[in-house]
Amino acid sequence: MLGEGNDKGKFIFEDVRHRAMRGDGRGDARYETEEMKAMLGEDLSTDFYAAGCDFFRPSMDLENSLVLGRENLEKAREQIDNGENVIFLANHQSEADPQVVSCLFEKVSPEMGDLAAHVTYVAGHKVTTDPLAVPFSMGRNLLCIHSKKHIDADPETKPAKSRQNMSAMNSMLTGLREGGMAIWVAPSGGRDRRDVST
């Protein structure tokens, strides 16, 4: 199964700030390591970003979907091109939000499609551990955090989770200092979930 790994092990996310796996041959030095070749196995040439979009695209009615505020998207793209940072705030609708956003941005223009491919999503830690989510997460630029609900759920792991959140914030700060970063945040996150196991 795509992203499942092989007999040498499953895919392991490199850090709290994960860069999308777009397939070898794109000048990404991560693909040159033996460890990455072993983890990805037959999936080494897979563009997980495109695979995720292709998976969800048939379930969308793109022809009848509207993208409002296109002038704001164009302004955001110009700001990013000029080295400024842009933060998108959105209501969290489903686990497929990143793929839906990409497909809708692609509908606006090829340039917006390129913008969508470079967005970094602030995501709950489960997107890197849930076997169903992992292949889709591998195709995304991610900053992974633990929500307050998940931090407080297990007092023994709270210090480690808090350190991971601080690491994620430091990584985001580094990206913002570099400039030209686009971050997608869904402030509502998983707040509608009643159980910390979901």
- Secondary structure of the chain: what % helix, strand, coil (to 5)? 50, 10, 40
User: Rounded to an integer, what distance in angstroms lies between the CA atom of residue 44 and that of residue 36?
Assistant: 8
Q: How confident is the model at residue 190 (pLDDT cuts 50, 70, 90)?
A: low
Q: Model confidence at 11, in pLDDT bands (50, 70, 90)?
A: low
Specify which of 8-22, 68-82, 117-131 reaches the highest per-range mean pLDDT.
Answer: 68-82
Q: Please determine, for residue 189, whether its predicted confidence score (pLDDT) is greater than 70.
A: no
Instruction: Report pTM.
Output: 0.85
Is the Cβ–Cβ distance between 176 and 170 less than 8 Å? Answer: no
What local confidence, expressed as pLDDT, does residue 55 receive? 96
Average pLDDT of the residues in 54-61: 96
Of residues 128 and 63, the one with the higher pLDDT is 63
**Nearest Cα to Cα of residue 87 among 190, 181, 188:** 181
